[in-house]
Structure 1
Amino acid sequence: MSKQDIEIAQSTEMLSVDEIARKLSIDTSTLEHYGKYKAKVDFDALHTTEKKNGKLILVTAINPTPAGEGKTTMSVGLGDALQKIGKKAAIALREPSLGPVFGVKGGAAGGGHAQVIPMEDINLHFTGDLHAIGAANNLVAAMIDNHIYHGNELDIDPRRIMWRRAMDMNDRQLRSIVSGIGAKTNGMPREGGFDITVASEIMAVLCLSHSLDEMKEKLSRCLIGYTFNNEPIKLGDINAQGAAAALLKDALKPNLVQTLEHTPVFIHGGPFANIAHGCNSLLATKTALSHADYVVTEAGFGADLGAEKFIDIKCRLGNISPDAVVIVATLRALKMHGGVKKTDLSKENNEGLKAGIPNLLKHIENIKKTFSLPAVVAINAFPDDTQEELDILKETIQAAGSRVVQSNVWAEGGNGGIELAEEAVRLCDQDTEMTFAYELTDSIETKVDKIVQSVYGGRGSEWSVAAKRTAKRLTALGYADLPICMAKTQYSLSDDAKALGRPTDFLVNIRELSVSAGAGFIVVMTGNIMRMPGLPKVPAAEQVDVDNLGKITGLF
């Protein structure tokens, strides 16, 4: 019987975080220690080297399925493999949210022999960043209601408060609530609700800020609601930006840990891959790039959401660009896209595989044509993969003009990703000039249609009356030149979660719009995307336990 991820992680002897920092020539005086194996890196570390930026490798994937793709596992394994072939490498990842950790997905620090450690700390409280973000978010919420209670000098319309409270847990019970009921001293009764912390705009602001001053300025621009006269009210209008920034001053600093093979890893920020842009922080990415020759990072969900937002939002706002892209796929997931039932995925099914491959081909097309970036497909190998199926997939990808590499990092760690690392290095040496899916000068509607047509492969978009009205309002307020953050199902290229493979000739239904004015993008809601997930019938939390010595089990 093979070991669980947590057993593999707990049996690994870790190096001190000082030793990890020295691998990247980071002055240990810039570290703020959280025990022996994790630390925050002070902002000064960005300026302690004169070397030029390293090469950036983006790991993305096909549309995810319940069969699993292993994008984080591949990112970790690739970083280890780069170190194995003698490269000065680092990895930059998002912080896990407690919601998914205790919900469906379980732990989120890689898997098998390609993990980040200490995985229990990373998956749970870590260095307290998400708690600080939740506290800052809820401080703003409290100050809004307090302002209304004490006379409402700004004339805020309680029915049009957009700022919701946040909690880092899946809890459907809190999606819609009525607060302030009872005595008059309890505040004004009104409807509201909670978002999961990683969906808070404060999380996105933190991830897109380079300094405390910039973060404070972005916070002040956050739109929190409207007056009775339909005028926008910003966070700065209630003077909450200073206190919120004070709560976030340490959370803004990137966190440094290590892989099982002691490759340095920056884990920082965890914006929701639907409501926000789904990438780790700019500070962590740029700190890694300034100290390593090769940096591996990833973006949430499939390339239609994660890679698109990484490029159209993070790269625009951070003035960075990937030098190469790795697209992760598994035979199991592709067979699900081809209509094969989850219970039958271990059986050879050539026709089901062929039916699902077009999903992968669309993502390759997007990376190479829409964004003009070099790409390699990484097949995340499973024990029940058959050689005939592997040959079919490899031949199809090669016929489409792309390179493909089989990876075994889950079972073998860095040794299982050496061929992938060598191909990624080769791609990084090519001259590239990244392009975007749309121009910032395009109208809101045009930007959305360009994403739907070029990235999703659909015919266009269909807007609700409310969405059209909001687009007109946001344009009048001067927000039309912001990037677009599409919120749609991750399971399909369309907004229909059941439309697997490569659907065509579809319209994406635009339900509503909101502006994250502080973070700097417009959120476009499609389908029935929610900001507060719920727990499944049998949550992963039921398997988690801790013994009398404090040893945690069951995280994954």
Structure 2
Amino acid sequence: MTFKTDIEIAREARKLPIQEIGGRLGIPAQDLLPYGHDKAKVGQDFIRSLAGRPQGKLILVTAINPTPAGEGKTTTTVGLGDGLNRIGRKTAICIREASLGPCFGMKGGAAGGGYAQVVPMEDMNLHFTGDFHAITSAHNLLAAMIDNHIYWGNALEIDTRRITWRRVMDMNDRALRDVVVGLGGVPNGFTRQTGFDITVASEVMAVLCLAADLDDLRHRLGNIVIGYRRDRGPVTCRDIGADGAMTVLLKDAMQPNLVQTLEHTPAFVHGGPFANIAHGCNSVIATRTALALADFVVTEAGFGADLGAEKFFDIKCRKAGLAPAAAVVVATVRALKMNGGVARADLGRENVSAVAEGCVNLGRHITNVRAFGVPVVVAINHFASDTAAEIAAVKDYVAQVGAEAILCRHWAEGSAGIVELAERVAALAEAGTAAFAPLYPDDMPLFDKIETIARKIYHADGVIADAALRDQLRAWEAAGHGHLPVCMAKTQYSFSADPNLRGAPEGHSIPLRELRLSAGAGFVVAICGEIMSMPGLPRQPAAEAIMLNDLGQIEGLF
């Protein structure tokens, strides 16, 4: 059987005018700022008018640890939103914007796939409405103003050895990880070592995604710590005087983007923080807007539930006052076979025992989500190579741990292929059994928060951290940052810090390598193991296959 590619399906989409999509949620046309005919930003005045409205039910879609076999978390998010609308629930979708780095690298885009996509797919995966460019510009304005302040006398007595603010660009480029700036003599400033991160790792991105409004945005930007004085005191963005201009650059980017699925479900696509170095969720302002306009809101969190869902619960929901009604854990037979030790080249052959062995990874995620008081259901994202025996093995395992697994065919069939899951999710959410609570209290010491996540979510024996790191955490507590949640940065491929350790390992240790204070975003980043904030391109980047065809259409995006 021959299947159309994602981009072929997207190109054939019959899109409705964006004003009509907004109308389905009750957004007046005058409160939409169109970017062409099929996408628009929702105006801040309209968003402010929604204050006090009853909130819809929030559904989180998360997944098992990602594998090269693919899980289809975004595809399932989109399909579930379409499915809930199909069964009569007024539903909106909230997902992140795509970064250019993964699009041209290895991972691909972030619009879903098959017949469960958000469109316009090409625009979403490329420049979209320019939000990432605005974030890049705001971030680099601060970097320029720091070096400019030092050049003109350094009145703040910034220690140039302790500047923590790097530059960013939205592209995978390993050559920029470590650079020296200021070469070329006196006119070019003072020479110092720094580097670039990818834009989605920027604290400005995290700030935009957690800010409630423009005033809160400026306040958070001002709180960003850019480095330290010679006396070790912190220097903030507000001290540099950049917070006002940065807010101006981000004024339009702060407004959520509205688009649609192939089946015309309204979709808010806004923000895109990394799920490693940041919290991996779409913006708070988009989620709150959707909850005020729809009965159900389906959203997702980056990577597996050990990273994305934990941060969604412990950072986003904690800080934004959100309470999810239900969660979906996405798995595929192929990915479970990889967790069971099957090589990628052999995934097409039936292997029920490997599926059963790999299910321990799925079981761990189910248990973890339940630990937050949220009811959970499993979505088996169907592939054509799946056999009846393999699917039955997944369902049997999930039943043994007290949950339900539902086969979903939304990639090939759209909303018609995910009705059973939609009905089950609606029933779970409407039953009102969720009793959401974060994993740890605000007043727990920072190191104890890190260790709580390591023990309860990763099933580690503990955290390895030298005295200097523990002292740093105590210093931040003394400076008033002890109430912040922690954002764990580790490999997405394993519960451990070893990307090759699949399944559900126990008895391992989590090595704490580095700490970063994101005082503007409002969390402490704990870097465990080897994590890159500026990825590199693979040997054969996806960019090699992306081009315009003879008709001027984009080819190669996925």
TM range (shorter): over 0.9
1:466–1:104 CA distance, 2 compared to 1 (3 A):
farther
| Alignment partner, residue 76 of structure 1 | 78
Paired with 1:51 and 1:269, the residues of 2 have a C-alpha distance of 24
| Alignment partner, residue 424 of structure 1 | 425
* Superposition map of 1:49-60 within 5 A: 51-60=53-62
Give ranges in structure 1 of 5+ residues lacking alignment: none
| Alignment partner, residue 337 of structure 1 | 339
SS of 1:290 mapped into structure 2? helix
1:546 is displaced (CA, Å) by: 1.4
| Alignment partner, residue 312 of structure 1 | 314
1:210 is displaced (CA, Å) by: 1.3
| Alignment partner, residue 512 of structure 1 | 514
SS of 1:305 mapped into structure 2? helix
Paired with 1:132 and 1:507, the residues of 2 have a C-alpha distance of 40
Paired with 2:34 and 2:151, the residues of 1 have a C-alpha distance of 42
| Alignment partner, residue 238 of structure 2 | 236
**What TM-score, normalized to structure 2?**
0.98
1:348 is displaced (CA, Å) by: 0.8
1:370-389 Cα deviation digits (max 9, x unpaired): 20110000000110101011
SS of 1:265 mapped into structure 2? strand
| Alignment partner, residue 174 of structure 2 | 172
| Alignment partner, residue 258 of structure 1 | 260
Paired with 1:52 and 1:231, the residues of 2 have a C-alpha distance of 44
| Alignment partner, residue 444 of structure 1 | 446
| Alignment partner, residue 378 of structure 1 | 379
SS of 2:312 mapped into structure 1? helix
| Alignment partner, residue 402 of structure 2 | 401
Q: Confirm or deny: 8 A CA contact 1:26 1:48 kept in the other structure.
A: no
Q: Confirm or deny: 8 A CA contact 1:437 1:455 kept in the other structure.
A: no
Query: Does residue 247 in structure 1 map to residue 249 in structure 2?
Result: yes
Paired with 1:247 and 1:454, the residues of 2 have a C-alpha distance of 41
Paired with 1:108 and 1:323, the residues of 2 have a C-alpha distance of 24
Identity percentage of aligned residues: 55
Paired with 1:28 and 1:51, the residues of 2 have a C-alpha distance of 20
1:512-550 Cα deviation digits (max 9, x unpaired): 111100000000001110110000000011110014653
Q: Confirm or deny: 8 A CA contact 1:254 1:267 kept in the other structure.
A: yes
Q: Confirm or deny: 8 A CA contact 1:175 1:194 kept in the other structure.
A: yes
1:439 is displaced (CA, Å) by: 1.2
Paired with 1:45 and 1:343, the residues of 2 have a C-alpha distance of 52
| Alignment partner, residue 540 of structure 2 | 538
Of the three residues 120, 135, 150, the one matched with 2:137 is 135
1:289-330 Cα deviation digits (max 9, x unpaired): 110111100000000000000000000110001100000000
- The one-letter code matched in structure 2 to 1:396 is Y
Of the three residues 446, 454, 457, the one matched with 1:455 is 457
SS of 2:306 mapped into structure 1? coil
Paired with 1:550 and 1:285, the residues of 2 have a C-alpha distance of 36
Q: Confirm or deny: 8 A CA contact 1:136 1:247 kept in the other structure.
A: yes
* Superposition map of 1:99-248 within 5 A: 99-248=101-250
- The one-letter code matched in structure 2 to 1:233 is V
Of the three residues 482, 493, 496, the one matched with 1:494 is 496
1:51 is displaced (CA, Å) by: 4.5
1:349 is displaced (CA, Å) by: 0.9
Give ranges in structure 2 of 5+ residues lacking alignment: none
1:473 is displaced (CA, Å) by: 2.1
1:435-480 Cα deviation digits (max 9, x unpaired): 2111111111110111011111111101134422321221222211
| Alignment partner, residue 14 of structure 1 | 15
| Alignment partner, residue 45 of structure 1 | 46
Q: Confirm or deny: 8 A CA contact 2:115 2:411 kept in the other structure.
A: yes
| Alignment partner, residue 362 of structure 2 | 360
How many residues get paired? 555
Paired with 2:36 and 2:352, the residues of 1 have a C-alpha distance of 51
SS of 2:124 mapped into structure 1? helix
SS of 1:393 mapped into structure 2? helix
SS of 2:228 mapped into structure 1? strand
- The one-letter code matched in structure 1 to 2:557 is L
Q: Confirm or deny: 8 A CA contact 2:96 2:110 kept in the other structure.
A: no
SS of 2:305 mapped into structure 1? coil
| Alignment partner, residue 528 of structure 1 | 530
1:171 is displaced (CA, Å) by: 0.3
- The one-letter code matched in structure 2 to 1:389 is E
- Using the TM superposition, name which of 544-553 and 42-51 deviates more: 42-51
1:47 is displaced (CA, Å) by: 4.2
| Alignment partner, residue 34 of structure 1 | 35
1:48 is displaced (CA, Å) by: 4.3
- Using the TM superposition, name which of 42-51 and 351-360 deviates more: 42-51
Q: Confirm or deny: 8 A CA contact 2:99 2:109 kept in the other structure.
A: no
SS of 1:137 mapped into structure 2? helix
- The one-letter code matched in structure 2 to 1:393 is V
SS of 1:277 mapped into structure 2? coil
- The one-letter code matched in structure 1 to 2:172 is N
- The one-letter code matched in structure 2 to 1:409 is H
Q: Confirm or deny: 8 A CA contact 2:66 2:493 kept in the other structure.
A: yes
Paired with 1:415 and 1:403, the residues of 2 have a C-alpha distance of 19
Paired with 2:389 and 2:277, the residues of 1 have a C-alpha distance of 40
Paired with 1:4 and 1:15, the residues of 2 have a C-alpha distance of 22
1:425 is displaced (CA, Å) by: 0.3
| Alignment partner, residue 551 of structure 1 | 553
Paired with 1:349 and 1:270, the residues of 2 have a C-alpha distance of 37
Paired with 2:502 and 2:250, the residues of 1 have a C-alpha distance of 40
Paired with 1:549 and 1:386, the residues of 2 have a C-alpha distance of 40
Query: Does residue 288 in structure 1 map to residue 276 in structure 2?
Result: no
SS of 1:413 mapped into structure 2? helix
- The one-letter code matched in structure 1 to 2:100 is L
| Alignment partner, residue 66 of structure 1 | 68
Paired with 1:222 and 1:125, the residues of 2 have a C-alpha distance of 26
Paired with 1:377 and 1:244, the residues of 2 have a C-alpha distance of 42
1:30-76 Cα deviation digits (max 9, x unpaired): 10010000000012232445741111100000000000000000000
1:243-293 Cα deviation digits (max 9, x unpaired): 000000000000000001110000000001011100000010011111011
Paired with 1:137 and 1:279, the residues of 2 have a C-alpha distance of 19
- The one-letter code matched in structure 2 to 1:6 is I
C-alpha RMSD over aligned residues:
1.0
1:413-438 Cα deviation digits (max 9, x unpaired): 11111001000000101232212111
Paired with 2:475 and 2:104, the residues of 1 have a C-alpha distance of 39
- Using the TM superposition, name which of 459-468 and 307-316 deviates more: 459-468
| Alignment partner, residue 23 of structure 1 | 24
Paired with 1:422 and 1:459, the residues of 2 have a C-alpha distance of 39
Paired with 1:215 and 1:316, the residues of 2 have a C-alpha distance of 18
1:354 is displaced (CA, Å) by: 1.4
Paired with 2:65 and 2:53, the residues of 1 have a C-alpha distance of 37
SS of 1:191 mapped into structure 2? strand
Q: Confirm or deny: 8 A CA contact 1:45 1:287 kept in the other structure.
A: no
**What TM-score, normalized to structure 1?**
0.99
Paired with 1:295 and 1:29, the residues of 2 have a C-alpha distance of 24
- The one-letter code matched in structure 2 to 1:119 is M
| Alignment partner, residue 415 of structure 1 | 416
SS of 1:429 mapped into structure 2? helix
Q: Confirm or deny: 8 A CA contact 2:463 2:512 kept in the other structure.
A: yes
